[in-house]
Structure 1
């Protein structure tokens, strides 16, 4: 049994379908099915039951699972250690952040990094999900977080400032019942809503910040948003209303095993610098209140 076989086993166990495993592994679903059949043939036991809804682990598969996960952790640790010993300012480097962080804070400054380090093959990973730095899905990340995982090292560059925003067109509509745009995960009424708009109606719930921005720009209501996003939007105005400060910050993070990697260190220093340069935007010092 080799690690490559176990990669296919783990992907199918986690995804439950050969098509899902194929997407994770970037191979065709027929390749997944063929590799699993070969592994089962080598072991002389079925690892999965083929169900109408997908693949389910047999008892043999369940027994194998913790050993496969242990092997995965060993391989990831070895990969990070080898990568971490690299002292050259060349090679691949994966940087992860949400779409809004990349496009508002980082991408406009990237020509400086690319021109300074032309031999670093930089890959940007834009995702609303948290990219797993432990398994090397990315080498470095910029995250908005109250507290990152302990296995990551890094720095909180700046605290994150928020405001309550509405569009100019919404504010010109005059006296009427207020409407608000909230996050999809907000099951309880947030504090700012209780304090300033207790009788408002929820117009919309969203899952990511740029959708919230567009909703507010189009007059669907007021919303609490980070200043670095909303202050830069023409047509949006921050309301002169007090807010309890957020405990979230802008963090630049990498795995502890990569602390000595030259290109990770160079990118980390670059990111900290460009975020510091945008201090007024992130702290909301540029807003004109309405």
Structure 2
């Protein structure tokens, strides 16, 4: 009769607990199953592993001799399960990245593609939103944000680069644009933080169109009747837009930030994704 290597679990549990009832509770089975598996193992090995008495099960000399080998089997099984679990997470777990629209096309999307090439089978979820997700709570794994230095506790923060704003027109815009007379022109802007920033930096700006997306602002510029303030890493990459000048922001600590929670510091998926984001940001700045 051939023995089943999984019976080593029952053997070790009884050896450690000295009773089939306690061992069964540890293994999540009933006492009859545990006793039957021990008996089957003894029959298959042709060895007496325990002496039975009213006080429980006591190891025989043969049983004690087999304990180290059974523990090695247990360690190997645990290692097998851990490796399988890590592989499954790497292949099946979706890495969640959240960012604003300004960073999606030039940074986030290319970085996600690069990460998938390095970790075949990696699934990714990209959320493009102006809402701030709670990374510590687990609303997302990684964020690319623009603004002042984050004050959130429990986050690893990497500064990717400064945010520099420029004033842009389309090549079809019929009027010359001077930064000294910026108030002479109609502006388009994204709503929310971008609009507030425009009004703060260019108080004389006359905003005639407000949109919900950055791409909509770019399309408005292509209509040829407005100018707009855009981050230079966005505007400089649009071949049909002309930068008219830079907006003087004075002393500012606003930047682009890569963020992820401390609890994910050792995650291989997060480490690869972070590296790809840093590399893509560097490539974007070189191409500008």
CA offset digits 1:211-270 (Å, max 9, x no partner) = 222222222422211011111113211113552255321111111222122211221122
Q: For the Cα contact (< 8 Å) 1:128–1:208, is it kept in 2?
A: no
- Structure 1 pair 184–107 and aligned structure 2 pair: CA distance change class (3 A): closer
After TM superposition, the structure 1 = structure 2 runs for residues 109-124 of structure 1, keeping only pairs within 5 Å, are 109-124=111-126
- Structure 1 pair 112–168 and aligned structure 2 pair: CA distance change class (3 A): same
Q: Higher mean Cα deviation, 211-220 or 134-143?
A: 211-220
When the two chains are superposed, the root-mean-square deviation of aligned CA atoms in Å is 3.0
Residue 261 (structure 2) aligned to one of 255, 259, 270: 255
Partner in structure 2 of residue 231 of structure 1: 236
Matched, 1:193 2:199: no
Matched, 1:159 2:162: yes
Structure 1 segments (4+ residues) deviating >6 Å: 173-176
Residue 220 (structure 2) aligned to one of 209, 215, 238: 215
Partner in structure 2 of residue 134 of structure 1: 136
Structure 2: give runs of 5+ residues left out of the alignment.
1-85
Residue 169 (structure 1) aligned to one of 169, 172, 184: 172
Q: For the Cα contact (< 8 Å) 2:164–2:246, is it kept in 1?
A: no
- Structure 1 pair 144–173 and aligned structure 2 pair: CA distance change class (3 A): closer
CA offset digits 1:165-196 (Å, max 9, x no partner) = 111222448999421123434469735434xx
- Structure 1 pair 273–174 and aligned structure 2 pair: CA distance change class (3 A): closer
After TM superposition, the structure 1 = structure 2 runs for residues 73-84 of structure 1, keeping only pairs within 5 Å, are none
TM-score (norm 2): 0.58
Q: For the Cα contact (< 8 Å) 1:203–1:220, is it kept in 2?
A: no
Residue 280 (structure 1) aligned to one of 274, 282, 286: 286
- Structure 1 pair 274–241 and aligned structure 2 pair: CA distance change class (3 A): closer
Q: For the Cα contact (< 8 Å) 2:98–2:140, is it kept in 1?
A: yes
- State how far apart, in whole Å, the 2-side matches of 1:207 and 1:178 are: 21
- State how far apart, in whole Å, the 2-side matches of 1:267 and 1:109 are: 7
How far residue 119 of structure 1 moved from its aligned partner, in angstroms, is 3.2
Q: For the Cα contact (< 8 Å) 1:178–1:201, is it kept in 2?
A: yes
TM-score (norm 1): 0.58
After TM superposition, the structure 1 = structure 2 runs for residues 33-72 of structure 1, keeping only pairs within 5 Å, are none
CA offset digits 1:54-98 (Å, max 9, x no partner) = xxxxxxxxxxxxxxxxxxxxxxxxxxxxxxxx7975442111112
Q: For the Cα contact (< 8 Å) 2:177–2:244, is it kept in 1?
A: no
- State how far apart, in whole Å, the 2-side matches of 1:143 and 1:241 are: 21
